[in-house]
Amino acid sequence: MTDRHLIVLTVNGSEHEAVVEPRKTLLDVLRHDLGLTGAHAGCEHGVCGACTVLVDGEPVRACLVFAVQAEDADIRTVESLGRDGELADLQQAFREHHGLQCGFCTPGFLMLAEGFLAQQPDADRDEIREAVSANLCRCTGYQTIVDAIAATAARRRDTEKEATK
Ligand code: FES
Ligand code: FES
């Protein structure tokens, strides 16, 4: 008989139960058990980054993590961005700067950038370029993705300055 475990995952602020085999990846549980299909299955072996989610604030490839390892962690998927049908600032910037074409890689880039900017809000363009080199995009040539992330960082800094005036 297959060994299965009841696990509780905290995803986007809500707890979800799932009964899973220990070998099932976090990506598969998010997509198939919880219906959160924003994280995409690309290479499924840690190369492309299309499956990137935040685990305790760190960008992580969900195809390389077993779901049972993610219990007790705070998981955020691309579905956590934006509220009430409104795009988040980062999503809006990707739209304005044409940071996506086919869009397959986009959820991964958004969560990579969300985690990166939380850790490095003052990142310059070179640092952003290095960060996004972790993920693969076959369409955009990366410049527009860097533009979108740099614009978001600048906007967030301006908003913070305004708030502290
Ligand atoms: S699907 Fe996870 S890195 Fe490609
Ligand atoms: S927009 Fe098509 S792979 Fe990135």
Q: How many domains are there within the chain? A: 2
d(CA 146, ligand 1 centre) in Å: 20
- 153 CB less than 6 Å from ligand 1? no
Query: Residue 105, exposed/middle/buried by CB under 10 A (0-12, 13-18, 19+)?
Result: buried
Q: Which of 80, 101, 120 is the last residue of a domain?
A: 80
Q: What CATH number corresponds to the domain at position 113?
A: 1.10.150.120
Residues 76 and 103 occupy one common structural domain: no
CA distance 78 to 107: 6
Three-state DSSP class for residue 11: strand
d(CA 103, ligand 1 centre) in Å: 15
DSSP state of 99: -
To the nearest whole percent, how much of the chain has pLDDT over 70?
Answer: 99
CA dihedral of residues 50, 56, 57, 63 (deg, nearest 10): -10
Residues 100 and 72 occupy one common structural domain: no
Domain that residue 152 falls in: 89-163
- 104 CB less than 6 Å from ligand 2? yes
- 139 CB less than 6 Å from ligand 2? yes
Residues 98 and 76 occupy one common structural domain: no
Mean pLDDT for the stretch of residues 123-129:
98
Q: Which of 61, 80, 99 is the last residue of a domain?
A: 80
Residues 152 and 131 occupy one common structural domain: yes
Whose C-alpha lies nearest to ligand 1, atom 3? Answer: 46
Residues 112 and 155 occupy one common structural domain: yes
d(CA 2, ligand 2 centre) in Å: 38
Q: What confidence tier does 164 reach under pLDDT thresholds 50, 70, 90?
A: confident
For residue range 15-72, what is the model confidence (pLDDT) as tens digits? 999 999 999 999 999 999 999 999 999 999 999 999 999 999 999 999 999 999 999 9
**Mean pLDDT, the chain, as a whole number?**
96
Statement: residue 7 has pLDDT above 90? yes
Q: What CATH number corresponds to the domain at position 65?
A: 3.10.20.30
99 phi and psi angles, rounded to 5 deg: -80, 10
Q: What confidence tier does 165 reach under pLDDT thresholds 50, 70, 90?
A: confident
Q: What confidence tier does 95 reach under pLDDT thresholds 50, 70, 90?
A: very high
Mean pLDDT for the stretch of residues 140-164:
96
